[in-house]
């Protein structure tokens, strides 16, 4: 328990440049101490990160149910546990927070909780991005903090449906729109990778951007993640296993499907974020 109290002290965001309150001063505040006081109530759960070589404790994440009469800063309702998380300062920025959140989400899922919540200072963008990567979404603004919530069931479904291998192709594509009555131009098919779709409303062409004439309406700068198939048509949820974590990370996609597999296009500027989000869900990205 002493280590959790140490981590609770570390979890309290203290803006740079302001006087540093003592550990006793911070942990004696009722609004802080109730995150651990009387630990062992129904619904309490914690995970601890250990340093691989030494076995030292380097971080912890925990949650507990808060009653409406004594709510936490990130209170949503009496059925939603609220998270606290902290990492020993010298081990921050090494993926420990990601590992702790993954483990805690697994615990919440096994215990049947539908959602988790937390409070994070708006002036702590690193923490906000961490939580958003794991599917937490801003629910409300309370003072200078965000209350965020995670739908555990949706997150776990997306994470466990399929573990896929994706390959990043060395090509930049453009998505073009032509008049529906247009003939398929030769420039669109002069490459091993292209897609043509005609509807009553448009002729849509996907091809390498260097082949597109300057006067053609298009959106360029797309990178390609190929799902390594083939996949049976009876297999359900393959594309959604990729689309869901990308949506949670705020990455827009353009999908192209073939008989054997799917190709997911993301903007070049979002490729690194997309890759991190997919690996976070257990997919292999090459």
Give SS3 for 122. Answer: coil
Whether residue 155 is predicted with pLDDT greater than 70 in this model: the reply is no
Instruction: Quote the CA–CA distance of 30 and 93 in Å, as a whole number.
Output: 30
State the average pLDDT over residues 60-86.
93
Instruction: Quote the CA–CA distance of 31 and 22 in Å, as a whole number.
Output: 16
Domains annotated on the chain, with CATH: 2-158 (3.40.630.30), 161-285 (3.30.2130.10)
Cβ-contact 251, 273 below 8 angstroms: yes
- Tokens of residue 286, six digits: 């090459």
Give SS3 for 158. Answer: helix
Whether residue 136 is predicted with pLDDT greater than 50 in this model: the reply is yes
Per the prediction, the chain carries an average pLDDT of: 89
What would the DSSP string read from start to end of 176-229? EEE-TTPPPPGGGGSSSS-EEEE-SS-EEEEEEGGGS-TTS-EEEEEEEEEE--
**Dihedral (Cα; 248, 251, 254, 259), 10-degree rounding:** -50
* Tens digits of residue pLDDT in 9-65: 888 866 566 677 788 888 888 889 999 999 999 889 999 999 888 999 999 999 999
With CA atoms as reference, report the closest residue to 86 among 32, 146, 10. Answer: 10
* Tens digits of residue pLDDT in 237-266: 788 888 888 888 889 999 999 999 999 999
């Amino acid at each position: 328990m002493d280590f959790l109290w140490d981590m609770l002290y570390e979890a309290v965001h203290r803006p740079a440049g302001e006087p540093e309150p003592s550990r006793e001063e911070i942990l004696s505040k009722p609004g802080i101490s109730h995150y651990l006081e009387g630990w062992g109530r129904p619904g309490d759960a914690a995970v601890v990160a250990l340093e691989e070589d030494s076995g030292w404790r380097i971080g912890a994440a925990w949650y507990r149910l808060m009653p409406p009469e004594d709510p936490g800063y990130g209170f949503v309702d009496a059925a939603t546990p609220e998270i606290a998380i902290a990492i020993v300062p010298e081990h921050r920025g090494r993926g420990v927070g990601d590992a702790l959140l993954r483990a805690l989400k697994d615990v919440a899922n096994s215990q049947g909780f539908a959602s988790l919540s937390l409070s994070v200072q708006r002036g702590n963008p690193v923490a906000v991005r961490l939580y958003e990567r794991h599917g937490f979404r801003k629910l409300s603004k309370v003072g200078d903090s965000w209350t965020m919530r995670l739908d555990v069931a949706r997150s776990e479904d997306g994470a466990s449906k399929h573990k896929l291998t994706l390959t990043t192709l060395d090509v930049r594509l453009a998505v073009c729109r032509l008049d529906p009555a247009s003939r398929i131009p030769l420039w669109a098919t002069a490459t091993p990778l292209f897609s043509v779709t005609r509807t009553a409303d448009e002729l849509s062409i996907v091809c390498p951007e260097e082949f597109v004439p300057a006067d053609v309406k298009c959106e360029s700068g797309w990178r390609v993640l190929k799902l390594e198939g083939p996949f049976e048509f009876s297999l359900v949820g393959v594309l959604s296993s990729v689309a869901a974590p990308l949506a949670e990370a705020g990455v827009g996609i353009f999908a192209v499907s073939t008989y054997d597999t799917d190709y997911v296009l993301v903007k070049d500027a979002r490729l690194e974020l997309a890759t991190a989000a997919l690996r976070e869900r257990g997919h292999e990205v090459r």
